[in-house]
């Protein structure tokens, strides 16, 4: 893990989209090391687009992204690959909605790819402690795993790369609530014990707020609400109002 800035990730007035389509308009937020920020909002609000733009997988049309204290050049479709690699080298990790596993490779092989040449506090032993089931499935191919097991493997592989910032898109998608409840405390441990800044895009609002420090609600590509997670747990009506803002 590389040296950590006082603010792990800053997004200022972000404008982004796909070709001529603008999805995000002036989105701003930040997250410090050891904190969890959840990004909430209705379908189509721009949550996944935000993470994709931060990773460099979507056209950044304006604004600024600062990772670990370093301002990033705007991502363009012609340079997606190079942009993703350079941001990963700064400690940015991203668990995509589709999980992105190598389905024909074993669990052990997927994890080995995650660790690569990286060294740091997140060791194979710690991964086994957080995800004991994966140790039992080490020789199974990723494609043969259940949805919950694949999500565990996606998270474990991303953590193995020693991220300073870990972004997770829709962790609960297609999973039973009991599995999600098992995975959420792992994210809290990652932040609390290893100082990783976590950004969680999630549809299960109360589950996300149960482990988050801060929350941002997006609606139609703009920030409709920013507040502490504790405040929103105590006043859930504020979330409902922000989901319907401008409609």
| pTM, two decimal places | 0.92
Q: 156-199: per-residue pLDDT in tens?
A: 999 999 999 999 998 887 777 788 888 899 999 999 999 999 99
Q: 79-134: per-residue pLDDT in tens?
A: 788 888 999 999 999 998 766 789 999 999 999 998 987 778 999 999 999 999 99
Other CB atoms within 10 Å distance of the CB of residue 93: 23
Give the per-residue pLDDT at 147.
85
φ and ψ at residue 118, rounded to 5 degrees: -70, 145
How buried is residue 56: exposed, middle or buried, by Cβ count under 10 Å (0-12/13-18/19+)? buried
CATH of 9-243, one of 3.40.50.2300, 3.30.420.10, 3.40.630.10, 3.40.50.300: 3.40.50.300
Other CB atoms within 10 Å distance of the CB of residue 119: 10
Within 30-176, residue ranges assigned H as helices are: 47-55, 80-89, 107-115, 124-130, 132-136, 147-160
Q: How many CA atoms lie within 13 A of 19 on its CB side?
A: 1
Confidence tier at 3 by pLDDT (50, 70, 90): low
Question: In the predicted model, is pLDDT for residue 4 greater than 90?
Answer: no
């Amino acid at each position: 893990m590389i040296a950590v800035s006082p603010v792990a990730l800053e997004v200022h007035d972000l404008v982004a989209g796909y070709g001529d389509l603008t999805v995000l308009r002036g989105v701003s937020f930040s997250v410090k090391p050891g904190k969890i920020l959840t990004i909430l909002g209705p379908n189509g609000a721009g949550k996944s687009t935000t993470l994709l733009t931060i990773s460099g997988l979507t056209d950044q049309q304006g604004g600024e992204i600062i990772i670990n204290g370093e301002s990033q050049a705007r991502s363009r479709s012609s340079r997606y690959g190079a942009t993703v690699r350079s941001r990963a080298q700064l400690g940015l990790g991203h668990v995509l909605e589709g999980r992105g596993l190598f389905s024909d490779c074993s669990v052990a092989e997927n994890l080995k790819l995650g660790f690569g040449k990286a060294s740091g506090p997140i060791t194979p032993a710690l991964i086994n402690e957080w995800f004991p089931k994966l140790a039992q499935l080490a020789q199974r191919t990723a494609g043969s795993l259940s949805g919950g097991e694949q999500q565990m493997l996606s998270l474990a592989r991303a953590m193995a790369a020693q991220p300073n910032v870990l972004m997770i898109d829709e962790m609960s998608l297609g999973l039973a609530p009991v599995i999600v409840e098992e995975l959420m405390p792992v994210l809290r441990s990652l932040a609390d014990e290893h100082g990783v800044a976590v950004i969680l895009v999630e549809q299960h609002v109360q589950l996300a707020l149960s482990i988050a420090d801060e929350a941002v609600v997006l609606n139609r590509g703009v920030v409709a609400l920013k507040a502490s997670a504790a405040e929103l747990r105590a006043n859930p009506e504020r979330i409902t109002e922000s989901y319907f803002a401008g409609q």
